[in-house]
Each structure stands twice: as structure tokens, then as C-alpha cells.
């Protein structure tokens, strides 16, 4: 089994799930008492959050590159970035390490493509929904039509993520409001919904909506563990 390196802490609410997903998948693949071989470098999310809102993405790229180099020096065979939004600076990681980097949108796009869906809704931070680092990859590589909510709905999802989810608050009122957004976009043709913030699946369960949901963190972790056992 190869060793997986995870850059976590963005937020720790979802990073703890990554650890569970990696170990659960390792045991499913190998049975017995098997668990994942992994290394974690966790950052202070307050610093990342501040730099994001100040639009200082180059500074975030430096922090991510340094974390990835730490993982490689510690013996990781592959690097995962346990967040959707910060994949905006994934080039800073790949340019500074010699081991593979598994992009969360690539892992997600592959699963959606296998399901035969063509038109999907993307939910996440405004950075993830409005910048093209995520949608362009899904469109260009996997041929998907990616929908994003209306501007007010995007702001609502963004605020719920930063004001509640990353702080461990999962409110029923917020769950209902996001379900309403999903239903609205379903009526416009969305065949599935990408939960493109790794905390969103804690709030929205597959049974909450009528169309398939894609838990990006779980997909990402499972893909990495399958790679580690090839």
C-alpha cells in the first residue's frame, strides 16, 4: 500500500471525514484489520480564510506548496488537498512536488461521467462557483454542462459555508434553504448536484433531494485509496 499525504484543516470539520473515508475504503478493499497509510499536514484555516477574502491567492499558493513539500519529504506517495475552493491554487502544488497530485474535480468528474449525467449543479463557495478553475475542468475533460445558482442563491450558500459549516454549525433552517435551491435548479434541468464544498455533505444527505448528490470529499478520498492499492 502506498502512503497518502493529505493537506487538511480547510476546515477540520471535513478533514476528519477524509481520515474516516480513507480508512473505511482501505478496509473495504483489503479486509481484515487493514487501514490507510497516510500523513496529514493541517493548516490554520483562519489564515487561509483571511487570504481568500483579501484575494491573495498567490500567498495561499505558497502555503499549499510548502505543505505539499512537507508531505513529500515525510514520505507521501501522492498528495490530496482536502478542500474544493483551494484547488484554485493547485498549480502551485504540482509545480513544487515530484509525486502525483489528485485533483478533486477530476475524481468527481470521472464518477459523474460514469453515471451518464450531462448537466449538473455545482454548489460551493462563491470562489468555487464563480471562478473557472473547477467548472472549466469538468466541462473540458468530462464534457459536462455545469450549472451554478442565481447570484442571491450563490451568496446564501457561500455565507452558510463560512458562517456556519466551517465552524461546525449544521442548522436545519440552512439545510432547508439549500434544498430549495437544489429543487429550483432541478426544475431547470439539473440531473445531479456536486456538493463542491467538503462540509456540504454533512448538511445535505442524499435522501434530502430527488437527484443524485456527489460528495466530493468521499469521492476524492476513495479514488486516492484505490490508487494507493493498485
Closest CA to 83 of 100, 67, 103: 103
Contacts of residue 66, Cβ cutoff 8 Å, sequence gap at least 6? none
Active site residue 83: yes
Closest CA to 156 of 172, 139, 175: 175
**Length reported for the chain:** 230
Taking the C-alpha atoms of residue 102 and residue 80, their distance in angstroms, rounded to an integer, is 6
Pick the catalytic residue: 38, 85, 125, 197?
197
Number of Cβ atoms within 10 Å of the Cβ of 207? 7
Map grid coordinates 468555487 to a residue: 128
Pick the catalytic residue: 83, 85, 125, 198?
83
Contacts of residue 77, Cβ cutoff 8 Å, sequence gap at least 6? 2, 3, 4, 5, 99, 100, 228
Active site residue 38: no
Beta bridge partners of 122: 194
Catalogue the active-site residues: 83, 197
Amino acid at each position: 500500500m502506498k502512503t497518502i499525504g493529505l493537506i487538511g484543516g480547510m476546515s477540520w470539520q471535513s478533514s476528519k471525514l477524509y481520515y474516516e473515508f480513507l480508512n473505511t475504503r482501505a478496509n473495504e478493499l483489503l479486509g481484515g484489520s487493514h487501514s490507510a497509510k497516510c500523513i496529514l499536514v493541517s493548516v490554520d484555516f483562519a489564515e487561509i480564510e483571511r487570504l481568500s477574502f483579501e484575494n491573495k491567492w498567490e500567498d495561499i499558493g505558497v502555503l499549499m506548496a510548502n505543505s505539499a513539500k512537507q508531505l513529500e519529504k515525510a514520505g507521501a506517495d501522492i498528495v490530496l488537498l482536502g478542500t474544493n475552493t483551494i484547488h484554485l491554487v493547485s498549480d502551485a502544488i504540482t509545480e513544487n512536488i515530484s509525486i502525483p497530485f489528485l485533483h478533486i474535480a477530476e475524481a468527481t468528474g470521472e464518477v459523474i461521467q460514469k453515471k451518464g449525467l450531462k448537466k449538473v449543479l455545482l454548489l460551493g463557495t462563491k470562489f468555487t462557483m464563480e471562478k473557472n478553475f473547477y467548472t472549466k475542468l469538468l466541462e473540458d475533460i468530462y464534457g459536462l454542462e455545469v450549472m451554478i445558482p442565481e447570484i442571491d442563491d450563490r451568496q446564501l450558500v457561500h455565507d452558510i459555508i463560512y458562517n456556519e459549516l466551517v465552524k461546525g454549525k449544521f442548522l436545519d433552517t440552512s439545510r432547508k434553504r439549500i434544498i430549495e435551491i437544489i429543487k429550483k435548479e432541478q426544475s431547470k434541468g439539473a440531473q445531479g448536484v456536486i456538493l463542491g464544498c467538503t462540509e456540504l455533505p454533512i448538511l445535505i444527505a442524499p435522501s434530502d433531494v430527488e437527484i443524485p448528490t456527489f460528495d466530493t470529499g468521499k469521492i476524492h478520498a476513495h479514488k486516492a485509496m484505490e490508487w494507493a492499492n493498485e
